[in-house]
Amino acid sequence: MSLYYEDVNVGDELEPLPWTPTTDMAIDFFGRDNPTNPAFADAEAGKRMGVGGALVPGLLKVAWITRYVNQWAGPDALVSNLRIAYRRPDVADRELVLAGHVVDKRQEDGENIVELEVVTLADGQPSVRGNVQVKLPTKG
């Protein structure tokens, strides 16, 4: 089902979505031979480093944020801009919650742009903050 520009208002909340990235999901995202940081490739290395397990790659969280927004907006929308700020690391096998709300709505160069603030929450605290612009269709 498509979402239309006319149906969106500043302040609208996106339904929160719980998500638990597993250790395998986190490790497989970069590959098990990732030389960048041992905590991305090995849960035990993450524990030895004091982070509690395998780290969830930031790009995996960006992918989930993009998917979350796409599911909210529908198949006729287009994510046109994405800015992300990483606030703190997340550890696999711990629940995260994706949440967001509409912060702006405007027509620009003939396009219907809705701007969202989206966060990934870990224990109620933001670990990733994002600003996402979506182009929505008009009714009719």
pLDDT digits (tens, 9 = 90+) for 13-44: 999 999 999 888 887 877 666 656 666 777 77
Same domain, 101 and 126: yes
Residue ranges in the chain whose pLDDT is less than 50? none
Amino acid 36: pLDDT? 67
pLDDT score, position 44: 75
In total, the chain counts a number of residues equal to 140
Q: Judging by beta carbons within 10 Å of its beta carbon (0-12, 13-18, 19+), is residue 19 exposed, middle or buried?
A: middle
For residue 40, the enclosing domain spans: 22-55
* Whole-structure pTM value: 0.89
Residues 30, 130, 68, 88: is their CA dihedral positive or negative? positive
Q: Note whether 132 and 95 are same-domain residues.
A: yes
Q: Residue 29 has what pLDDT?
A: 79
The pLDDT of residue 74: 96
pLDDT reported for residue 48? 81
Q: Are 77 and 40 within one domain? A: no
